[in-house]
């Protein structure tokens, strides 16, 4: 809301605030560029943030981006 108690909208952009909120150009969806660096799946989780996940039968490695084949025989 602004000083006159009216609602503000930020369409196709993102909010930024230091003192007063302002609408600035949003970055591209991080998953659209090189799949966000994810080996299999990339899921946007917020503005400029994402998480990676793997196909069934694979585990997410310690780098949180690479998927490694799960050893189903070891289970």
Contact 40, 55 (CB under 8 A): yes
Count of structural domains within the chain: 1
In a domain, 4, yes or no: no
User: What CATH number is given to the structural domain containing 42?
Assistant: 2.10.25.10
Q: Is residue 5 part of a domain?
A: no
DSSP, res 38: -
> Which tens digit of pLDDT belongs to each residue from 10-64?
555 555 555 566 665 555 678 888 999 999 999 988 877 899 999 999 999 999 9
Provide the pLDDT confidence category of residue 1 given band limits of 50, 70 and 90: very low
- The number of angstroms, rounded, from the C-alpha of 5 to the middle of its chain's C-alpha atoms is 32
Residue 38: exposed, middle, or buried by beta-carbon count in 10 A (0-12, 13-18, 19+)?
A: buried
């Amino acid at each position: 809301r602004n000083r006159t108690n009216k609602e503000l909208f930020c369409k196709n952009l993102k909010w930024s605030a230091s003192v007063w909120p302002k609408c600035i150009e949003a970055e591209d969806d991080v998953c659209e560029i090189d799949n966000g660096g994810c080996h299999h799946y990339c899921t946007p989780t917020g503005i400029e943030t994402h998480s990676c996940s793997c196909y069934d039968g694979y585990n997410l490695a310690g780098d949180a981006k690479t998927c490694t084949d799960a050893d189903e025989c070891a289970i």
